[in-house]
Amino acid sequence: SPAALPADYSIRHMAVELLALLDSLGIQRCHFMGHALGGLVGLELALLRPQLLQSQVLINAWSSPNPHSARCFSVRKQLLLNSGPQAYAQAQALFLYPADWIAANSARLADDEAHALAHFPDTENLLRRIHALETFNIEAELARIQTPTLLIANRDDMLVPWQQSRHLAEVLPNARLVLLEYGGHASSISDPLPFQRALLDFLSAQT
């Protein structure tokens, strides 16, 4: 966004923005899917307007801060502030994908990084988005969320421990977990078929 984000920008702000968009489109009921940050937005949506969501799919999400992800976010901020956008963009793949996938897709990643740099956001806005991730904590409200929920996580995710999704599956009243063995933080890209099977099996049962 070219506009300056508020200093207290949060995941709930993002959910309210999305609700405004859905309202403008006349969407009153939907299936929601969110990856990482998007999954956090989905949790907020389920609290703010539960009647909107027929179901939700949350991929590599979490409900409260954890020390491992906090360390990753700290490293990303230091890269941005001390080394600049190019280093930040180049490091992105290390957090998203398995090592063998990175090695086999260097040309694609170079294109992705060039695109990211060409559209790189304002530094202050990016820091405020990261801060929203770091401080998100919906733990006390999880038991209120009745939305049918599929949680997808990856054992080899180096950004968000898969145990965060297991915890969500244990606490959300109407949730189940699919744990994938391979794919890193972005297995919908690095190993899409198992991801797609889990997604379609769940959605087929919701209609």
* Beta strand extents in 60-201 (DSSP E only): 149-154, 175-180
What is the predicted pLDDT for the residue at 1?
Answer: 55
Read off the pLDDT of residues 35-59 as tens digits, 9 standing for 90 and up: 999 999 999 999 999 999 999 999 9
Tokens of 20: 């405004």
DSSP category for residue 4: P
Angstrom distance (rounded) from CA 132 to CA 10: 5
188/41 Cα distance (integer angstroms)? 19
d(Cα 75, Cα 70) in Å, to the nearest integer?
9
pLDDT given for residue 207 in this prediction: 72
Average pLDDT score, the chain: 97
CA 188 to CA 176: how far, in whole Å?
18
Burial class of residue 134 (count of CB atoms within 10 Å of its CB; 0-12, 13-18, 19+): middle
Domains and CATH numbers, the chain: 31-65+138-206 (3.40.50.1820), 68-128 (no CATH)
Residues 143-187: pLDDT tens digits? Answer: 999 999 999 999 999 999 999 999 999 999 999 999 999 999 999
Sorted by sequence, the CB contacts under 8 Å of residue 84 that are 6+ apart come out as none
Contact 36, 59 (CB under 8 A): yes
Residue 123: band (very low, low, confident or very high) from pLDDT cuts 50, 70, 90: very high
Q: Which residues contact 204 (CB under 8 A, 6 or more apart)?
A: none
Give the pTM. 0.95
Residue length of the chain: 207
Instruction: Tell me what pLDDT residue 2 has.
Output: 55
Output the pLDDT for position 20: 98
Percent of the chain whose predicted confidence (pLDDT) is above 90 = 98
Query: What DSSP element (H or E) covers 173?
Result: none
The pair phi, psi for residue 156, each rounded to 5°, is -100, 20
Q: Which residue has the tokens 């770091």?
A: 134
For residues 16-23, give the mean pLDDT.
Answer: 98
- Report yes or no: 183 and 172 within 8 Å, Cβ to Cβ: no
